[in-house]
Amino acid sequence: MFPLLVDSVSVAGIYALSALSWVLLYRTTRLMNLANGQFLLLGAYLFVTFLVQFGLPFPAALLVSAAAIAIIGALVYVTMLRRLAGQGEFTIVILTLGLAAVVDSLTTMIWGSNDRVMPSSLSDRTYHLPLNATITTYEIIVIVASIVLVGIASLFIDHLPYGLSMRAAAENPVLASQTGIRVGRVLAAGWALSLVAATLSGIAYSYVNVLSPGISEQLGLLGLAPAFVGGLDSIPGALLGGLLVALGQTLAGSYISAGSQDAVAWILMLVFLLFRPQGLLGSKRIERV
């Protein structure tokens, strides 16, 4: 059982980052981005391009790719989504679905459809733990990075002035604009932050596994499950949701079949939507009629 728990924790770090991208977007814009997985893949490909073809050091490639995907996210909001203000959430969701198809086609055209092994930036050792459990250097880095990034995101959104402005703009754009908040600017920043978190999850997944076009669904869309389990408006909930979904998938893969893992993630999400829609740490919304 202990080896399964260790495996779950390493996977949970990746899921937490993916869930964080969904949570950040919802907290700062009250929107859902069905192209999240495709942008996740695009960010990972940009990172590999800067790292391998441009020869940048790992930290520089990481910063440049994060900056590039942040700019793309802001431009998506400014050039497309801002024009749909007042059209309803359904219209915006359909637009992001169309974006998913476009970005998916572009990444295939530019980088192809073959799997890629990530270039080694440091020695990836395997550490042996008690009870025959093992963990690698990359998995340790992913776990630590996910905890640190969730903590930074929580501090920024919940306590710092600009983060509070983003939350205000998401809750009530009209009232926020009347208080002097540049609503368009902070909503664009919300899209940028969300795609940066998605890119980091894609890079982390690719180092632990391989960079594959399939991660747009395996990780990007599947990140919805831990986001809903932990609470779609709770940043710390991304960690808890990631751990529960990863544990459920690991147990299902060990005791049922490998093909049941994704089904378990979606079943967990459906159960929470039916019986606790706010998630474990999310706030309960009360609608008055």
Domain boundaries, the chain: 2-111+125-275
H helical segments located in 80-182: 89-111, 137-159, 161-171, 173-178
Query: Looking at 22-26, 36-40, 59-63, 89-93, which range is the least confident one?
Result: 89-93
Give this prediction's pTM: 0.92
d(CA 10, CA 143): 6
Class of 2-111+125-275 in CATH: mainly alpha
What percent of the chain has a predicted confidence (pLDDT) above 70? Answer: 95
Whether 187 shows a pLDDT value over 80: the answer reads: yes
DSSP characters over 153-212:
HHHHHHHSHHHHHHHHHHH-HHHHHHTT--HHHHHHHHHHHHHHHHHHHHHHHHHHS-B-
What would the mean pLDDT of 272-276 be, rounded to a whole number?
Answer: 93
Q: What is the pLDDT of residue 251?
A: 87
Per the listing, tokens 């440049």 go with: 64
CB 24 within 8 A of CB 73: no
**Average model confidence (pLDDT) across the chain:** 89
Q: What is the pLDDT of residue 69?
A: 97
d(CA 73, CA 79): 10
CB 17 within 8 A of CB 143: no
Q: What is the pLDDT of residue 288?
A: 43
Q: What is the pLDDT of residue 289?
A: 39
Place 121 in a pLDDT band, splitting at 50, 70 and 90.
Answer: low
Q: Which helix (H) or strand (E) holds 127?
A: strand 126-128
pLDDT tens digits, one per residue of 219-273: 888 899 999 999 999 999 999 999 999 999 988 888 888 778 889 999 999 999 9
What would the mean pLDDT of 267-282 be, rounded to a whole number?
Answer: 93
Residue predicted with more confidence, 88 or 25: 25
Q: What's the DSSP call for residue 54?
A: S
Q: What is the pLDDT of residue 74?
A: 95
d(CA 287, CA 275): 17
